[in-house]
Structure 1
Amino acid sequence: MDIQGFVIAILPIALSPGASFTLALSNVAINGMKGAFKVLIGTGLGIILHGLLVGLGISNVLNKSQVVMNSLQIIGIAFLLWLGLKLVTSGMKLLHHKMEFTASDVSVKQAFLLNIFNAKAIVLYLTVVPIFAGSSLSSYLLLATTHVIIMALWILIFSLMFCFAKEKLKVNIISAIINIVGGGCLLTMSCHSALNYYYQ
């Protein structure tokens, strides 16, 4: 197992603003730091499950079925699209003062499902992780845990910074902007994924 090589390879992926990052900041805008923890727990469980499935060889079996992989990708795109629309709608309502600040945030289950159906996460754990993990299940779980720790630290740092900044600004406006921009990012990701799926 090459944990140092894995950390170097995973850093750009874990630190790039993706769906989990967007959802965490949106949750922080709505419910403070406890909102970020929901996304971290859901995403972390998803990453660990990917590591477990690849370590057991189950993901490799699923990858050989084009129908299964296509189904997972379509479900993932639809789920990402739904979350994006949910964030944009929530942001628009906050912006027009049509809802109280106690808007619903993304749950642990939703963050988990988003990660499980994320085609990029599946491909990452099928292609990149085996290079560094070797053949032991414990190695896959250790690398997945390392991935979770890096992702969690990064999201927590930004969430804390956002919490401090939010206190000095108008909460509804900041929350609305985060939700609209974040939802727009998720919608863009879902459209990009749909186009990639269509043209592959």
Structure 2
Amino acid sequence: MDFIGFIVACIFFSISPGSGAVVSINNVIVNGLKGASFGVLGLQAALIVHLFFIYLGIGMLVSQSPLLYSVIKYLGIAYLAYLGVDKIMNSLKSKDFFIVDEAKKSKQVLMRQGFIVNLTNPKSIIFLTAFLPQFVNEHSQAATQYLLLGSIVVLIDTIVMFLYSLGASSFKSFFSEAQTMRNINFMFGIIFIGIAISIAM
């Protein structure tokens, strides 16, 4: 097994900007680093579910079933679009366009949001379905190998999401102004909708 190649591929998989990174950065801005950490936990819980599905062979089924793939894909699109519209509406609640902050969310809501965003991301499960088996030795215990490889995937993705969060946290003072927050809410709403559209295309 080429561990170096596997780790490098995992890093590039995690570091490529996507809905998980956007959710992590947004959560830091609105809920702080501690609040954002619960969102990261939700993202990783969904990633663990993906890895479990792949171990069971369901990942291959999804990749080979256009209907099942489409169902997961459009559920994810709908949820991202909902998040986008929700943030835009939060930025438009006042007559004075950029005044009111978005309310902070509970840790349960943050975890659930991260979980749904990652769970309904079919590109993640398709990538892992094509990627992980290449590093599994068919002559060795598959369960142990999947557990080891899956743990590495989750660990690297957790580190990357926290790095995204820490980066956003470094600029938290910039986001402390209400006017800036309203602009940021609007911007992230557009980004979420943009990601939904890009997945749909």
- Relative to the length of structure 1, the TM-score reads 0.83
Aligned twin of 1:104: 105
Matches within 5 A, 1:119-198: 119-135=122-138, 136-167=142-173, 170-195=176-201
Write out per-residue CA displacement over residues 125-149 of structure 1, whole angstroms, 9 at most, x where no aligned residue. Answer: 1111221234513322332322222
TM-superposed deviation, 1:171: 3.7
Q: Is the 8 A contact 1:166 1:174 kept in 2?
A: no
Separation (CA, whole Å) in 1 of partners of 2:185 and 2:144: 38
Matches within 5 A, 1:36-55: 36-55=36-55
Aligned twin of 1:198: none
TM-superposed deviation, 1:112: 0.9
Aligned twin of 1:18: 18
Q: How many residues align structurally?
A: 194
Matched to 2:4, the amino acid is: Q
- Relative to the length of structure 2, the TM-score reads 0.83
TM-superposed deviation, 1:113: 1.4
| Percent of aligned positions that are identical | 26
Give 5+ residue unaligned stretches, structure 2: none
C-alpha distance 134-24 of structure 1, shift in aligned 2 (>3 A): same
C-alpha distance 63-162 of structure 1, shift in aligned 2 (>3 A): closer
Separation (CA, whole Å) in 2 of partners of 1:120 and 1:43: 14
Q: What secondary structure, in the 3-state scheme, does the structure 2 residue paired with 1:128 have?
A: helix
Q: Is the 8 A contact 2:88 2:185 kept in 1?
A: yes
TM-superposed deviation, 1:170: 3.2
Give 5+ residue unaligned stretches, structure 1: 196-200
Separation (CA, whole Å) in 2 of partners of 1:62 and 1:146: 23
